[in-house]
């Protein structure tokens, strides 16, 4: 195995499989008891990673202990199905287990996103513009200074964004809906929602810059 592929000009080396990864591929491609035993080991590993991940995020989620565990088991089960279906797509660019960990962590994120709607903090179509000062850390004592800025921002949201960009902005920025929760609600995907918000942010900065509220700052990079 060798050769490179590129992702938008970024080369990703396909390396020779390490022995552990090669063994995983061998037994998962097998049939009978060996494959069943490998699936059991894989599932156990995915449960361990999923439980670790929900514990890591747990303090920030409004999900209790038994629910967290249930979420982890669901994520592991769905990840097992996804991995066995996609095992032929594993390219050896990392260890097999790293690739598998990624898939179960994505499942954890998706489940947490869907779980948000069991007890949403605010209706999806609400527009709580009063949250913006807190959202951006504006000092109430300096309201005279930022009131015009927020009015300009609101005008830009209404006038510069497409309806879908506006809806995404309102949901995520005003109403605090997590991006993955919005993905679940709109039956969309993370990339599409992120891109809408990315484009919205760019347009809003341009509008505020045109009106003298902030700079374009084209030289800023990290």
CB of 18 to another protein, least distance (A): 11
Rounded-to-integer distance, Cα 101 and Cα 83, Å: 10
Rounded-to-integer distance, Cα 194 and Cα 183, Å: 9
**Of 38 and 153, which CB lies nearer to another protein in the complex structure?**
153
**Eight-state DSSP code of residue 142:** G
Contact 104, 47 (CB under 8 A): no
**Of 34 and 189, which CB lies nearer to another protein in the complex structure?**
189
Rounded-to-integer distance, Cα 19 and Cα 17, Å: 6
Which two three-digit tokens encode residue 200?
A: 């919205």
CB of 24 to another protein, least distance (A): 14
Rounded-to-integer distance, Cα 3 and Cα 178, Å: 39
Parallel, antiparallel or unpaired: strands 4-7 and 10-13: antiparallel
**Of 38 and 50, which CB lies nearer to another protein in the complex structure?**
50
CB of 187 to another protein, least distance (A): 16
**Of 123 and 198, which CB lies nearer to another protein in the complex structure?**
198
Q: What's the Cα-to-Cα distance from 117 to each of 92, 103, 186, rounded to whole Å?
A: 37, 23, 12
CB of 31 to another protein, least distance (A): 27
Q: Which residues of this protein are in contact with another protein, per CB under 8 A?
A: 7-8, 10, 12, 49, 52-53, 56-57, 93-95, 97-99, 101-102, 105-106, 108-109, 135-138, 145-146, 149, 153, 173, 178-180, 189-191, 194-195, 198, 201-202, 204-205, 208, 213-215, 217, 220-222
**Of 10 and 31, which CB lies nearer to another protein in the complex structure?**
10
Instruction: Look up tokens 């960990």; give the residue.
Output: 101
**Of 35 and 190, which CB lies nearer to another protein in the complex structure?**
190
Rounded-to-integer distance, Cα 16 and Cα 30, Å: 21
CB of 138 to another protein, least distance (A): 7
CB of 205 to another protein, least distance (A): 4
């Amino acid at each position: 195995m060798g050769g490179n592929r590129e992702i938008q000009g970024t080369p990703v080396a396909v390396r020779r499989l390490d022995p552990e990864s090669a063994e995983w591929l061998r037994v998962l491609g097998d049939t009978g008891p060996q494959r069943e035993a490998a699936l059991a080991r894989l599932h156990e590993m995915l449960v361990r990673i999923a439980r670790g991940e929900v514990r890591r995020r747990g303090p920030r989620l409004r999900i209790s202990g038994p629910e967290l565990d249930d979420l982890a088991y669901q994520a592991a089960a769905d990840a097992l199905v996804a991995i066995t279906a996609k095992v032929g797509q594993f390219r050896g660019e990392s260890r097999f287990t790293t690739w598998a960990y990624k898939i179960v962590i994505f499942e954890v994120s998706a489940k947490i996103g869907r779980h948000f709607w069991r007890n949403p903090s605010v209706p999806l179509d609400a527009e709580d513009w009063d949250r913006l000062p807190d959202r951006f850390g504006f000092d109430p004592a300096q309201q005279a200074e930022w009131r015009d800025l927020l009015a300009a921002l609101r005008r830009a949201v209404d006038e510069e964004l497409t309806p879908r960009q506006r809806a995404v902005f309102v949901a995520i920025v005003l109403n605090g809906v997590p991006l993955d929760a919005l993905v679940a609600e709109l039956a969309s995907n993370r990339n599409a929602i992120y891109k809408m918000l990315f484009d919205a942010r760019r347009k809003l900065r341009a509008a505020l810059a045109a009106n003298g509220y902030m700079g374009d700052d084209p030289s800023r990079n990290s």
